Structure 1
Amino acid sequence: MNYILNIETATKNCSVSIAKEGKTLICKEIAEEGYSHAERLHVFIEESIKEVGITYKDLVAIAVSQGPGSYTGLRIGVSAAKGLCFALGIPLIAVDTLQALAAQAKIESGFVVPMLDARRMEVYSAVFSAKLESERAILAEVITEDSFQEFEETLYFVGDCTEKCQTVLNKANFVFLENIKYPSANEMSALSYEKYLKNDFVDVAYFEPYYLKDFMITTSKK
């Protein structure tokens, strides 16, 4: 059986899931202001393995959220994933954090815009189709009233910065799904299994999380 352990620690949400052939069997997560990843992550992993009724040797791969996101959170998740891969001799899969966040929005048309808060009006963002295909690359950008003006289709915004972004993003085709706030290991299950089937692995020794530090400042057209 193809069991994959998924680890998501890019935001305040410390999340772990175990999936069998792309289907989540169990997901444990908690989002706290104090970033309790260091204390919670390994406990969640141990509990999930036990409750599913398997052992570490049943895992065929470890998947980790690759970013962008919290520097400390990403380091904790990647370190744990690498350690398990080395110990078990199994491959490491890197999953796009924003794609996993976008996967929570179940839409039939239009585009999903996952955004993660950086500071002030700065966000990490991307644009995905209803089928989770990339429509615009990941950017570190400053949100202004001119952001996403090129899209005429309905845009569904998800992430932990929708409240502040609604103050400037107010076109009629902009929809904010405020209940979708953080990426989760639950949505990583299908994404990591797809990569597993394609042997889309990263080098355990040299893989580093995806950090975005430079912000693109958009000049108002007014």
Structure 2
Amino acid sequence: MPTILQIETATQVCSAAVSVNGQTVALKELAANNIHASSLTIFIQEAMDAAGLAFADLDAVAVSKGPGSYTGLRIGVSTAKGLCFALDKPLIGIDTLKMMAAGFLAEQPDYQGLICPMIDARRMEVFTALFDSSLQEAEPVLARIIDEESYRVLLETQNIAFIGDGAVKCADVIQHQNAAFHLCNYNSAAGISGLANEAFLAGAFEDVAYFEPFYLKDFVVTAPKKR
């Protein structure tokens, strides 16, 4: 029965969870701007305390690896790697968009359409992918600019559930009877539980020394506007 600490920091949600045998037993999270650096280690300790576990009881650490916020991912992955080095535990990297789809299916296990997790990437761009109800990838991860024609062909024959903070801004643009927008928080470390358990049992571990987040797009530094 693997016991796994889980970290999600790809968006403004700062989230830590503990799972045992693929089931979430403790969760601490908050959606707020710029709290990851100051709150993540506190949330991790609170989740461990709520689970009644010591760090030595862990079998692995899992982290949401992206795509998402550059800064958020750096904080989450560096924290996970630090814990793995200190505890001599294996590291599991989980695709953030697949994690979001898994969280949606955990709430709606009878859903049979496509799932489109979206992470806000500014303006009308999102980081997104498509998954079926078995969490198989129907469209690979990409950065997409959303307009009125986005997903129109697919929506003629498929129900699509749009989820995530990127879906919020797209609800008024993608209008179709087969499009449903679920605006709850699916950037939660609880969504990692089943995927991390499967990865642990399969021995799918990352190289702690060389593992890096999946940013999808290069980080661009822009000059501040003159006052």
For the criterion TM > 0.5, the same-fold answer is: yes
The one of 200, 209, 215 aligned to 1:211: 215
User: What is the Cα-based RMSD across aligned positions, in Å?
Assistant: 1.3
Instruction: Report if the CA contact (8 A) 2:131-2:138 is conserved.
Output: yes
Aligned residues: 212
Residue 161 of structure 1 aligns to a residue whose secondary structure is helix
Q: What's 1:217 paired with?
A: none
**Matched letter for residue 34 of structure 2:** Y
- Cα distance in 1 for partners of 2:153, 2:97 equals 20
- Cα distance in 2 for partners of 1:118, 1:162 equals 11
2:201 matches 1:197: yes
Map Cα deviations across residues 102-145 of structure 1 (whole Å, 9 max, x no partner). 12322421100000101111000010111211111001010111
**Matched letter for residue 204 of structure 2:** D
2:135 matches 1:136: no
Map Cα deviations across residues 166-209 of structure 1 (whole Å, 9 max, x no partner). 2221122111112x234100110111001001001111000100
**Matched letter for residue 121 of structure 1:** M
**Unaligned stretches of 5+ residues in structure 1:** 215-222
Q: What's 1:23 paired with?
A: 23
- Cα distance in 1 for partners of 2:169, 2:19 equals 34
Instruction: Report if the CA contact (8 A) 2:117-2:167 is conserved.
Output: no
Instruction: Report if the CA contact (8 A) 2:15-2:189 is conserved.
Output: yes
**Matched letter for residue 152 of structure 2:** Q
- Cα distance in 1 for partners of 2:141, 2:167 equals 17
Instruction: Report if the CA contact (8 A) 1:122-1:143 is conserved.
Output: yes
Flag the 1:194–1:6 CA change in 2: closer, same or farther, 3 A.
same
2:144 matches 1:145: no
Instruction: Report if the CA contact (8 A) 2:103-2:186 is conserved.
Output: no
2:42 matches 1:50: no
Q: Report deviation, 1:49.
A: 1.6
Instruction: Report if the CA contact (8 A) 1:11-1:182 is conserved.
Output: no
Instruction: Report if the CA contact (8 A) 1:12-1:182 is conserved.
Output: no
Identical pairs, percent = 48
Map Cα deviations across residues 82-103 of structure 1 (whole Å, 9 max, x no partner). 0010111111000010111112
**Unaligned stretches of 5+ residues in structure 2:** 219-227
- Cα distance in 2 for partners of 1:160, 1:190 equals 22
Q: Report deviation, 1:46.
A: 1.2
**Matched letter for residue 24 of structure 1:** T
Map Cα deviations across residues 44-81 of structure 1 (whole Å, 9 max, x no partner). 11122222222111111000000000101000000110
Map Cα deviations across residues 12-59 of structure 1 (whole Å, 9 max, x no partner). 100000000111000000000x22011111111112222222211111
TM-score after normalising by structure 1: 0.92
Q: What's 1:36 paired with?
A: 35
Q: What's 1:6 paired with?
A: 6
TM-score after normalising by structure 2: 0.90
Q: What's 1:170 paired with?
A: 175
State the 4+ residue runs in structure 1 displaced beyond 6 angstroms.
none
- Cα distance in 1 for partners of 2:146, 2:140 equals 16
